[in-house]
């Protein structure tokens, strides 16, 4: 299973984030903005709620969430306990809330919402409405994870250790300045004085582009990049160097995979960021010869272990003839009287194929003997030339040209022996 984007995790999934050095489970309770009429655009992201209770606390000096000690704690002490990389990624959002106390405040939504990074959920967000109790403020809408009314009780139950426990919501009881809504041990809703000490389940919103590993751990990662020589490479009749450079802003070592027409041709591991590379298959004559004429796509995939990016280029191979010879003849003492030569590859039947050999390759005018028939039959070649002014030296030259069928081919290897 590969790493995935946080935004692709299903609602109800569990992900892991370190708080004060310890991994904590968080529930994905919403993907995206719950309601654009009620929530500011900053609330568009992946909503996470700590699976169980982190600590217990009183609410504040009255039931105004904006002025509460719990709001201060969440955006100060608790916020600073979150893993530094995740902490830096948490979105600054504006959440709908009762601005002021329950009886003396007014509802604030959208861009007028309360600025926060970490917050408590509201009664409406966990599935209750004024239909359940007229003293709920309309400070949000139901998040995707939660059910409606009492039918959603099971989704609201949270634990402090091994026991289900009460946990605070941010919603004040709108009939007075003292009572605050909370979730009871059975998932039902109730309200009581702000001075009581109940459980705290922090919530926050992360960018959906963050990465989740196989074990659920959320991490901040910058995807690697690839810069290239271009994408439309045109017609090619000889080996060519398509150069590219791989980079990773996080400094991760990279795995680079080269593909030709979807098939892997080369994989490199442990590649450092900033390394300049050349696509191997097309860079050498031997590799280029194996590519048939026609349209082709070369692709480079780069992975930092968390994310994979790719880039591609296209070219058209248009080679109608090929020839192979030794760059340096093979010199020996004594005479060369017989040889055998094998040509392997893909050579169409109607191709114009020719094989020649010489046993005096160091002379100013070597004698080239046609060995086409012998090579095709796989039999010995007996040299007719008996003279080698500069000493005996062997070489061959093999040429192939496309026939009338237009079918392409390639020379993979030339091998043989002589004596």
User: Predicted confidence band at 3 (pLDDT cuts at 50, 70, 90)?
Assistant: confident
Q: Which domains does the chain have, with CATH numbers?
A: 4-212 (no CATH), 225-317 (2.60.40.10), 321-418 (no CATH)
Check pLDDT > 80 for residue 2.
Answer: no
Percent of the chain with pLDDT over 90: 91
* pLDDT score at 150: 87
* pLDDT score at 384: 97
Mean pLDDT, to the nearest integer, of 142-152?
Answer: 93
Buried b / exposed e across 88-114, counting CB within 10 Å, b at 16+? Answer: ebbbebbbbbbbbbbbebebbbeeebb
CA-nearest of 103, 144, 107, 108 to 127 is: 144
User: Predicted confidence band at 1 (pLDDT cuts at 50, 70, 90)?
Assistant: very low
Condensed to tens digits (0 to 9), the pLDDT of residues 263-311 reads 999 999 999 999 999 999 999 999 998 999 899 999 999 999 888 999 9
User: Predicted confidence band at 408 (pLDDT cuts at 50, 70, 90)?
Assistant: confident
Mean pLDDT, to the nearest integer, of 330-354?
Answer: 95
* pLDDT score at 320: 86
Check pLDDT > 60 for residue 80.
Answer: yes
Burial class (CB within 10 angstroms; exposed 0-12, middle 13-18, buried 19+) of 311: middle
Helix (H) / strand (E) containing 235 = strand 232-236
Condensed to tens digits (0 to 9), the pLDDT of residues 194-218 reads 999 999 999 999 999 999 999 999 9
Check pLDDT > 90 for residue 360.
Answer: yes
From the CA atom positions of the chain, what is the Rg in Å? 37
CB 104 within 8 A of CB 97: no
Q: How far is CA 180 from the centre of its chain?
A: 44
* pLDDT score at 406: 82
**Rounded-to-integer distance, Cα 356 and Cα 375, Å:** 9
For 133-201, the DSSP string reads -TTS-------TT--SGGGGHHHH-EEETTEEE-EEEEEEPTT-SSEEEEE-TTS-EEEEETTS-EEE-
Pairing of strands 275-278, 243-247: antiparallel
Mean pLDDT, to the nearest integer, of 107-118?
Answer: 98
* pLDDT score at 410: 83
* pLDDT score at 101: 96
* pLDDT score at 111: 98
Mean pLDDT lowest for which of 176-185, 314-323, 324-333?
314-323
- Average pLDDT of the chain to the nearest whole number: 96
Mean pLDDT, to the nearest integer, of 60-67?
Answer: 98
Its pTM stands at: 0.68
* pLDDT score at 321: 87
Pairing of strands 179-183, 225-228: unpaired
Check pLDDT > 60 for residue 29.
Answer: yes
CB 92 within 8 A of CB 117: yes
Check pLDDT > 60 for residue 96.
Answer: yes
Q: What is the chain's percent helix, strand, coil content, to nearest 5? A: 10, 40, 45
Residues in the chain: 419
Buried b / exposed e across 267-286, counting CB within 10 Å, b at 16+? Answer: eeeebebeeebebebbeeee
Mean pLDDT, to the nearest integer, of 45-65?
Answer: 98
Mean pLDDT, to the nearest integer, of 103-110?
Answer: 96
Burial class (CB within 10 angstroms; exposed 0-12, middle 13-18, buried 19+) of 84: exposed
């Amino acid at each position: 299973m590969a790493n995935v984007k946080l935004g692709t995790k299903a609602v109800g999934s569990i992900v892991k984030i370190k708080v004060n050095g310890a991994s904590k489970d968080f529930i994905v309770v919403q993907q995206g903005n719950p309601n654009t009429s009620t929530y500011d655009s900053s609330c568009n992201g992946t909503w996470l709620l700590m699976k169980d209770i982190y600590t217990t606390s009183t609410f504040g000096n009255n039931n105004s969430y904006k002025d509460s000690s719990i709001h201060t704690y969440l955006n100060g002490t608790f916020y600073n306990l979150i893993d530094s990389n995740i902490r830096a990624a948490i979105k600054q959002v504006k959440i709908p809330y009762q601005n002021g106390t329950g009886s003396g405040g007014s509802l604030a939504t959208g861009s007028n919402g309360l600025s926060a990074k970490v917050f408590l959920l509201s009664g409406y967000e966990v599935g209750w409405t004024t239909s359940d109790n007229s003293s709920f403020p309309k400070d949000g809408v139901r998040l995707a994870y939660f059910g409606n009314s009492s039918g959603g009780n099971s989704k609201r139950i949270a634990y402090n250790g091994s026991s289900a426990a009460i946990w605070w919501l941010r919603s004040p009881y709108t009939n007075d300045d003292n009572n605050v809504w909370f979730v009871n041990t059975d998932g039902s809703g109730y309200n009581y004085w702000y001075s009581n000490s109940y459980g705290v389940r922090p919530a926050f919103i992360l960018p959906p582009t963050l990465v989740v590993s196989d074990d659920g751990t959320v991490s901040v990662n910058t995807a690697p990049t690839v810069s290239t020589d271009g994408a439309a490479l045109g017609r090619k009749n000889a080996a060519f160097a398509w150069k590219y450079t791989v980079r990773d802003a996080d400094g991760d070592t990279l795995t680079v995979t080269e593909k030709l027409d979807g098939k892997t041709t080369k994989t490199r591991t442990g590649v450092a960021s900033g390394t300049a590379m050349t696509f191997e298959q097309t860079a050498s004559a031997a590799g280029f010869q194996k590519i048939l004429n026609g349209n082709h796509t070369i692709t480079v995939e780069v992975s930092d272990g968390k994310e994979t990016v790719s880039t591609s280029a296209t070219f058209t191979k248009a080679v109608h003839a090929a020839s192979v010879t030794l760059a340096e003849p093979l010199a020996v003492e004594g005479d060369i009287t017989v040889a055998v030569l094998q040509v392997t590859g893909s050579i169409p039947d109607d191709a114009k194929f020719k094989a020649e050999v010489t046993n005096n390759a160091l002379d100013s005018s070597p004698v080239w003997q046609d060995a086409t028939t012998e090579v095709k039959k796989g039999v010995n070649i007996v040299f007719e030339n008996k003279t080698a002014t500069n000493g005996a030296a062997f070489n061959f030259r093999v040429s192939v040209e496309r026939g009338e069928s237009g079918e392409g081919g390639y020379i993979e290897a030339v091998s043989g022996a002589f004596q």
